[in-house]
Amino acid sequence: MKRIAVYCGSATPEDPRYIALAREVGAELARRGIGVVYGGGKLGLMGALADATLAAGGEVIGVIPKELVNPEVANNACTELHVVTSMHQRKAMFTDLSDGFLTLPGGVGTMDELWEAVSWAQLGYHAKPVGVLNAFGFYDGLLAFQRHMVEVGFIRPAHEHIIMAERELDLLLERMAAHEPIQAIFDMKAADL
C-alpha cells in the first residue's frame, strides 16, 4: 500500500490517549513509507495525525470541503491540500487516492466514512482493504453490532469480513497488506443475494 485514507475525529477528547494514538499512527505510516490521505483539518485527531506524519517525513494529502475550510481550519502544511465542493466528492477522492482505509476513533463523520468504504467494498465499487484500529476497545460496540447484523442476515457471509479490526496497528497493517478481494454484489447472481 502506497497510501491509506485515514478516517478519524476532528475533536480533541479529554483523554490524551486518543491524540497520542493519532500521532503514533501518523509517525508509523511515515516510517513505513505509506502516505496519508485524510480530511484536511488541523484540529483534533486529524491534526495530530497530519502533524506527526509530516514531522516524520511522510506524505499527507488533505481533502476538505470548501464549507469546512474556515471551521476546521484547513491544514495548509499538507503535502497537497484539495478543497472540494461536497462531502461526496471528498469521499470519492479518498477512494481514488488511496490503496486502503484505516479508521481511528472518531464521531459521526468518521462513521459515515467507514460505512461508505464498507458499503462500496460490498457492492464492488472498490476492492481495497477496510481496517478499524480498535484501540482501547473504542469500537467494541460497533463490532458487536456488525456481528449482530451478520447473525440476523443483513450482512451476507461473503461480506462479514470486510471490516478488518485489530487493537494493534502492526497486526492491522499486516492484515490489510494481505487483503484478498471479496465477492462483490455486482458479481453475484440473483440466487446469491
Percent of the chain's residues with pLDDT above 90 = 90
Q: What is the pLDDT of residues 38-84, one digit of tens each?
A: 999 999 999 999 999 999 999 999 999 998 887 668 999 999 999 99
- Could you tell me which residue, 104 or 71, shows the higher pLDDT? 104
The reported pTM is: 0.94
> Are the beta carbons of 59 and 26 closer than 8 angstroms?
no
- What does the radius of gyration of the chain's CA atoms come to, in whole angstroms? 16
Evaluate if residue 168 carries a pLDDT over 70: yes
CB atoms within 10 A of CB 31: 12
Which residue, 33, 57, 58, 36, is CA-closest to 46? 36
* Residue found by looking up cell 440473483 in the block: 190
Mean pLDDT of the chain: 95
For the chain, domains (ranges, CATH) are 3-192 (3.40.50.450)
